[in-house]
Amino acid sequence: MGIHKGTFYNWRKKYSGMDAIQSKRLKELEDENARLKKMYAELSLDNVMLKDVLSKKW
């Protein structure tokens, strides 16, 4: 198939026994998780920046 055996076994472990609907839902949840992590990181940086400005560390 042209893929590494380790990749195949990881995919098999992750997706075995899933039908198409479950696989689609997993992808949606992973996308939402990534979006929320990015949002958290941005808000965390904003928070640090505001604390620095308020404490006049610039």
Convert the pLDDT of each residue in 31-46 to its tens digit: 999 999 999 999 999 9
CA atoms within 13 A on the CB side of 19: 1
Q: pTM of the entire structure?
A: 0.64
Model confidence at 1, pLDDT cuts 50, 70, 90, reads: confident
Q: How confident is the prediction for the chain on average, in pLDDT?
A: 91
Cα(17)–Cα(9) distance, integer angstroms = 14
| Ranges of each domain in the chain | 20-58
Model confidence at 56, pLDDT cuts 50, 70, 90, reads: confident
The answer on pLDDT for 58 being more than 80 is no
Residue 58, SS3 per DSSP: coil
